[in-house]
Amino acid sequence: MPERLAEAFAAIQQDVDAAFDAFLPVPDDSRAPLLEAMRYAVIGGGKRVRPLLVCATARLYGVARDAAVNAGCAVEAIHAYSLIHDDLPCMDDDDLRHGKPTVHKAFGEAVAVLAGDSLHALAFDILTMPGTSADPFVRSELVATLARASGHGGMAGGQMMDIASAQRDYDLPEVTRLQQLKTGALLAASVELGAILGKVPPEGRTHLRAYARDIGLAFQIADDLLDVEGDEDKAGKALRKDEGQGKQTFVTLMGRDAARRQATVLVEQAGQHLASHGAEAELLIELARFVVRRDH
Amino acid sequence: MPERLAEAFAAIQQDVDAAFDAFLPVPDDSRAPLLEAMRYAVIGGGKRVRPLLVCATARLYGVARDAAVNAGCAVEAIHAYSLIHDDLPCMDDDDLRHGKPTVHKAFGEAVAVLAGDSLHALAFDILTMPGTSADPFVRSELVATLARASGHGGMAGGQMMDIASAQRDYDLPEVTRLQQLKTGALLAASVELGAILGKVPPEGRTHLRAYARDIGLAFQIADDLLDVEGDEDKAGKALRKDEGQGKQTFVTLMGRDAARRQATVLVEQAGQHLASHGAEAELLIELARFVVRRDH
């Protein structure tokens, strides 16, 4: 990993952990297990790709770091709640996440459902804090963008398509659509949140959306390749699940080599969309390259 | 029920159903079951106490009906998601809600989790629609209020206290705190949303908060009495659950008679908080009385 990117990851991991620590004090009453489960899910785990996307985009437009970290925490809270609920026995039934027991394994299913729901609400709470933006129009746009990206028209809709894929085989356009919703929508929202904080009007965000769309697909292709080729210890979660469930993925539909080539093309293309930003976009371009080269 | 209140309920039920019908078209792809489950949960069921609270409060300040109905739908979406998740086997494990099978019984657990999550996101999506308010400050305040009322500091925190009550007996102050969070926070938010739409500054909402606090507790005492004395057919859900779970409630802690008297006192007190509004607050006062007299 390039030094600049490694430093950016280290900084965002530290800032996101510190922010969640401040957002989530454990109360001295019987709600304590809920707050402990929320903290377990969002502090000290995860690569923080989404918060880094928010912050790196926001920096292109001179947004204050604290505001961008807040918005990054909101996206991360949505991402974390979706993982908690996805890992439940009635969903993917996973025991391991980021190398430790999943939330329902550590705190029980009922607390896991509630912790997910509470992180979901926390995301929108954070976005409406004055510390995220002093401009109410910005706060309202942040909420609208994240709510649409995570609901039935975005992430949750993609998860529904994923569940339905057990019943029939999808073709490549359908898998692409599924992944654009399930993973892509929240990655795109991360970039968009950074631009909203920078008060970039919607028509000025076209190239950022194109960048986000390309890295979203590249990210998912890389995930499908990791599921086949990755190391479970490094991944910190169970792999080889797609095959076991007989699911169509970019790898099963395109083959490994073509999938790998496609991811590389998407990453190059993603970088080209940011050409107008010159050297300032270098971090986002390095992040795009990392997305397909990562080993976990 | 007084005629005016009956008409108000009929009107809000119709308007909320129509609004959700418009918000939730069923797509012609594999996301269809998700949208069908969401529609099943929010269309054609429930008394709509919360949307009526939003609309009746908003009307005190001359807010347009459509805007108030939107905000009412947002609260109802939160209420509906919490019922879906509460009914799950890992939570209360209920088979019946509003006289029909619960969402997980009708659509399966995985779809139920996702439908709850999607309604949760929909609530904040609706609150940021221009049709809810043209003023971004109002939209941002609506979101902040609903997010805080539904998260770990509100409804979800109350549910956590409820789960924890299986481990030890709560005293009356603790049961009061639990219910203020679990049920009261969302009822209070309903009233607050109406006032925010009416651009009432926080210091002008004190009497509305007092009204909401009183009816919230009265509502829960009535619920505890219904659990002991109610008719399951009318309730459309399983009753006598508190006793089966050995839970402390207002009825177990105070006795039936004292609980009934307390609810009546709270309702009278609730009405007095609204005295400054004169005859215009009559609907909210009738609603307060209904809350303790309802048979389901």
| Test the A interface: residue of B113, B119, B155 with most A CBs within 10 Å | B113
Confidence of residue A130 (pLDDT cuts 50, 70, 90): very high
C-alpha distance from B156 to closest chain A C-alpha (Å): 6
Helices and strands: H and E segment counts in chain B: 16, 2
Please name which of B221, B225, B218 lies closest in space to residue B266, comparing C-alpha atoms: B218
In the beta sheet, which residues pair with residue B97? B100
Q: Find the residue in A nearest to B24 (Cα).
A: A152
Contacts 24+ apart (CB under 8 A), B134-141: B135/B199, B136/A136, B136/A137, B136/A139, B136/A140, B136/A141, B137/A136, B138/B196, B138/B197, B138/B199, B139/A136, B139/A140, B139/A143, B140/A128, B140/A136, B140/A139, B140/A140, B140/A143, B141/A128, B141/A136, B141/B196
Across A53-82, average pLDDT: 98
Confidence of residue B208 (pLDDT cuts 50, 70, 90): very high
C-alpha distance from A80 to closest chain B C-alpha (Å): 13
How far is residue A39's CA from residue A37's CA, in Å, rounded to a whole number? 5
Biggest CA–CA distance in chain A, Å, is 55
The pLDDT tens digits for B126-154 are: 999 999 999 999 999 999 999 999 999 99
Is A36 at the interface with chain B, CB within 8 A?
Answer: no
Q: Chain A partners of B114 at a C-beta cutoff of 8 Å?
A: 85, 156, 159-160, 163
CA A203 to chain centre: 24
Inter-CA distances, B29 with B32, B58, B120, Å:
6, 38, 22
Q: What ipTM does the predicted assembly reach?
A: 0.96
How far is residue A85's CA from residue A79's CA, in Å, rounded to a whole number? 10
Lowest mean pLDDT among A126-130, B63-67, B145-149, B218-222: B218-222
Q: In B128-156, which positions are buried (b, 16+ CB within 10 angstroms) versus exposed (e)?
A: beeebbebbebbbbbbbbbbbbbbbbbbb
The pLDDT tens digits for B54-100 are: 999 999 999 999 999 999 999 999 999 999 999 999 998 999 998 89
Q: In A173-204, which positions are buried (b, 16+ CB within 10 angstroms) versus exposed (e)?
A: ebbbbbbbbbbbbbbbbbbbbbbbbbebeeee
C-alpha Rg value of chain A to the nearest Å: 18
The SS3 of residue B149 is helix
Residues 169-198 of A with CB under 8 A from B: 174, 177
Across B259-280, average pLDDT: 94
The pLDDT tens digits for A10-49 are: 999 999 999 999 999 999 999 999 999 999 999 998 899 9
Biggest CA–CA distance in chain B, Å, is 55
pTM: 0.96
pLDDT at A169: 87
Total CB pairs under 8 A between chain A and B: 174
Sign of CA dihedral A217, A219, A222, A224: negative
Is A148 at the interface with chain B, CB within 8 A?
Answer: yes
Q: Chain B partners of A174 at a C-beta cutoff of 8 Å?
A: 30
The pLDDT tens digits for A185-229 are: 999 999 999 999 999 999 999 999 999 999 999 999 998 998 888
CB contact under 8 A, A127 and B143: yes
The pLDDT tens digits for A242-282 are: 766 778 889 999 999 999 999 999 999 999 999 999 999 99
* Mean pLDDT, chain B, whole residue set: 94
Q: Which domains does chain A have, with CATH numbers?
A: 3-293 (1.10.600.10)
Please say whether the beta carbons of B190 and B212 come within 8 A.
yes
pLDDT at A243: 67
Is B81 at the interface with chain A, CB within 8 A?
Answer: yes
Considering only CB atoms, A122 lies closest to which of B118, B129, B151, namely B151
pLDDT at A228: 87
